[in-house]
Amino acid sequence: MKEKKEKRHVSYAKWGLIFIAPFFIAYIIFSLAPQIITIYNAFFENYRSGLTIVGPNFVGLRNFVSLFTPDANGTIDILKYTGNTLLMWVEGAIPQIVIALLLAIFFTSYRLKIKGQGFFKAVIYMPNMIMASAFSMLFFTLFSNVGPVNQVIQAMGWADATIDFFSMTVTVRGMIALMNFLMWFGNTTILLMAGIMGIDQSMFEAANIDGANSLQTFFRVTLPLLKPILVYTIITAMIGGLQMFDVPQVLTNGFGVPNRTTMTLVMYLNNFLSGKNYGMSGAVSVILFIVTGILSLITFRSLRTQSEEA
Partner 1 sequence: MNTNTVNSKKAIAQLTIVRIIVYIILAILTILCLFSFYMLIINSTRSNGELQGGFTLIPSTHFIQNLVNAWNDSSINIPRGMLNSFLIAALSAICATYFSALTAYGIHAYNFRGKKFAYWFILAIMVIPSQVAASGFVQICYKFGLTNNYLMLILPGIASPVVFFYMKQYMEAVLPMEIVEAARVDGSNEFFTFNRVILPMLKPALAVQLIFTFVASWNNYFLPSLLLTKSELKTVPIMIAQLRSADYSKFDMGKVYMFILLAILPVVIVYLILNRNIIKGVTSGSVKG
Partner 2 sequence: MKKLLALILASAMVLTMLAVPAFAEEAEAPAEEIVMHEGVTAEGEGTVFNIYAWNEEFKGFFEKYYQVPEGVTVNWIIVPSDGGAYQNALDEALLNQENASADDKVDMFLAEADYILKYTGSELTQDVGALGVTDFSNAYEYTVQAASDANGVVKGVSFQCCPSALIYRRSIAKDVLGTDDPAEVQEALSDWDKFAAVADQAKEKGYYMTASFAATYRPFSNNASTPWVVDGALQIPAEVQQWIDLTDSMMEKEESLTSGIWEDECTAQMFAEGKTMCYFGPAWYFNFSMGNAQDPEKGCPGDWAICEGPMAHFWGGTWILAPAGTDNPTMVADVMNTFINDEAVCEELVVNEAQFSNNQAVNGKFAEDPAFGVEFLGGQNATAVFVEMAKNIKFENGTIYDQLCNEGLQNNLQDFYRGGSTKDEALANFYKYINESYPEVVTP
Scanning residues 15 to 54, which ones bind partner 2 (CB under 8 A)? 45, 47-52, 54
Selected binder of partner 1 within 3, 52, 72, 111 (CB under 8 A): 111
Residues in the chain: 310
| 63 SS3 class | helix
141 within 8 A of 177, measured Cβ to Cβ: no
Q: Would you say 6 or 309 has its CB closer to partner 1?
A: 6
Tell me the closest approach of the beta carbon of residue 296 to partner 2, in angstroms. 27
Angle at 249 between CA 245 and CA 251, to 5 degrees: 125
Is 258 a binder of partner 2 (CB under 8 A)? yes
**Bridge partners of 57?**
45
Residue 229 interacts with which of partner 1, partner 2, none, CB < 5 to 8 Å by class: partner 1
Tell me the closest approach of the beta carbon of residue 164 to partner 2, in angstroms. 5
Residue 121 interacts with which of partner 1, partner 2, none, CB < 5 to 8 Å by class: partner 1
Size of the site for partner 1 (CB under 8 A): 100
Selected binder of partner 1 within 1, 2, 3, 10 (CB under 8 A): 10
132 within 8 A of 243, measured Cβ to Cβ: no
Spatial distance between the Cα atoms of 59 and 46, rounded to a whole number of angstroms: 10
**Which listed range, 65-73, 167-175, 238-246, 252-260, lies at the site for partner 1 (CB under 8 A)?**
238-246
Residues 6 or more apart whose CB falls under 8 angstroms from that of 235 comprise 296, 299, 300
SS3 content of the chain, % helix, strand, coil (to 5): 75, 5, 20
287 within 8 A of 71, measured Cβ to Cβ: no
Is 211 a binder of partner 2 (CB under 8 A)? no
70 within 8 A of 76, measured Cβ to Cβ: yes
C-alpha distance from residue 165 to each of 82, 143, 145 (Å): 23, 6, 8
Is 285 a binder of partner 1 (CB under 8 A)? yes
What is the number of other CB atoms lying within 10 angstroms of the CB of residue 150? 19
Q: Would you say 73 or 202 has its CB closer to partner 1?
A: 202
Selected binder of partner 2 within 144, 154, 296, 307 (CB under 8 A): 144
Taking CB under 8 A as the rule, which mask of x and - marks residues 128-157 in contact with partner 1? Answer: xxxxxxxx--x--xx-x-xxx---------
Tell me the closest approach of the beta carbon of residue 233 to partner 1, in angstroms. 9
Between residue 260 and residue 289, which ones bind partner 2 under the rule CB under 8 A?
Answer: 260, 268, 271-272, 274-277, 279-280
Residue 310 interacts with which of partner 1, partner 2, none, CB < 5 to 8 Å by class: none
Q: Would you say 220 or 276 has its CB closer to partner 2?
A: 276
Spatial distance between the Cα atoms of 207 and 265, rounded to a whole number of angstroms: 46
According to the 3-state scheme, what is the secondary structure of 221-255?
HHHHHHHHHHHHHHHHHHHHHHCCCHHHHHHCCCC
Tell me the closest approach of the beta carbon of residue 172 to partner 1, in angstroms. 18
Between residue 39 and residue 98, which ones bind partner 1 under the rule CB under 8 A?
Answer: none
Q: Would you say 146 or 155 has its CB closer to partner 2?
A: 146
Q: Are strands 52-58 and 44-49 parallel, antiparallel or unpaired?
A: antiparallel
Is 257 a binder of partner 2 (CB under 8 A)? yes
Binding site for partner 2 (CB under 8 A): 45, 47-52, 54, 71-73, 77, 141, 144-147, 164, 166-169, 253, 255, 257-260, 268, 271-272, 274-277, 279-280
